[in-house]
Every structure is written in structure tokens, then in C-alpha cells.
Amino acid sequence: MKKKILFISETVTMAHLIRPLKVASSLSLDDYEIHFAATKVPDFLRNEFAKYTLHEINNSVSEKQFLDAIAQG
């Protein structure tokens, strides 16, 4: 039985999505069942996620709220 791995991403910046995608791409699909839970996946990245199970998260902070919070420290 394959081990399951779940990556969770608040996709407020591309880095939050791309970093776990790079880690996932280094894992063998023969050994692992890989899932992603993300607030959004841009259309231009959909093909990159096609080999994984994608779970879309519908409630999240907006990119603006995230960046405003960072700006305020």
C-alpha cells in the first residue's frame, strides 16, 4: 500500500504553491499517493498538478490581506 502525502497551501503567493510542488515532483508516484489542498491553482499550473489529487480549499485569506499583514509586521 502506498503512503499518502498531503501538501497544504494557502496560495497567497506563488512560492507557497511552487515549493511543495517541487518537493512532490521529487517523490516517486510508485511509492507515494500525493495530494494537494490549495486555495487556488492558476490555470497555467494545472498541467503540473494533473498527476496529483487536487483538493480545492474555498475559504482563505485574500492575497491582499496576506500582503497587508506582512507590511504591518
pLDDT in tens, 1-51: 899 999 998 877 788 889 999 999 999 999 999 999 998 888 999 999 999
Any idea what the Cα angle at residue 51 is, between residues 3 and 42, rounded to 5°? 120
More confident residue, 1 or 59: 1
Q: Whole-angstrom Cα distance, residue 34 to residue 53?
A: 6
| pLDDT value of residue 55 | 93
Question: Are the C-beta atoms of 17 and 40 separated by less than 8 Å?
Answer: no
Q: Whole-angstrom Cα distance, residue 31 to residue 39?
A: 26
Any idea what the Cα angle at residue 65 is, between residues 35 and 25, rounded to 5°? 25
More confident residue, 27 or 65: 27
pTM, full prediction: 0.78
Q: Whole-angstrom Cα distance, residue 30 to residue 55?
A: 21
| pLDDT value of residue 67 | 83
